[in-house]
Amino acid sequence: MALDPRLMLPDNSPMSPTHLEPILHDWTTPDALDDEAPSTATARELALTIGRLDLDDLRRHHLQLALAVAELSAGAGVPWPWTADDPTVALVRAVAKLSIVAPDVVGDAAGQLVDRLRVG
């Protein structure tokens, strides 16, 4: 089966595999140039941070809390709890369990949530 000639690139195209000129453009974005590493937090730090908040305040951050619990649970090898409780309460209990079972497990999502909760 032959290639359709309309799909073929000319030999002088920058996308051509035989085009060997150096790339003179800076392909990085300003965000990629930041020297700061992504924020991380341990299960212990997350538990201490959410322990200072009212449960209703945590409900606004339910998705981020779920991401943090999923990441920390996977890192610690601790299974997700299955419960009929309120979802936010179940996530808080999972963080409490992780802070006891694997307090030093680290996660990026946990770090982002801790930063967000400390700011606002």
pLDDT band per the 50, 70, 90 thresholds, residue 43: very high
Is the pLDDT at 44 greater than 90, yes or no? yes
Phi, psi (5° rounding) for residue 41? Answer: -150, 150
For 65-74, the pLDDT digits (tens) are: 999 999 999 9
Task: Supply 85's token pair.
Answer: 């409780």
Residues 6+ positions from 19 with CB-CB distance below 8 Å: 11, 12, 13
Q: What is the gyration radius of the CA atoms in the chain, in angstroms?
A: 23
Higher pLDDT, 93 or 82: 93
* Side-chain half-sphere CA neighbours of 11 within 13 A: 0
For 5-9, 39-43, 57-61, 115-119, which range has the lowest pLDDT when averaged over its residues? Answer: 5-9
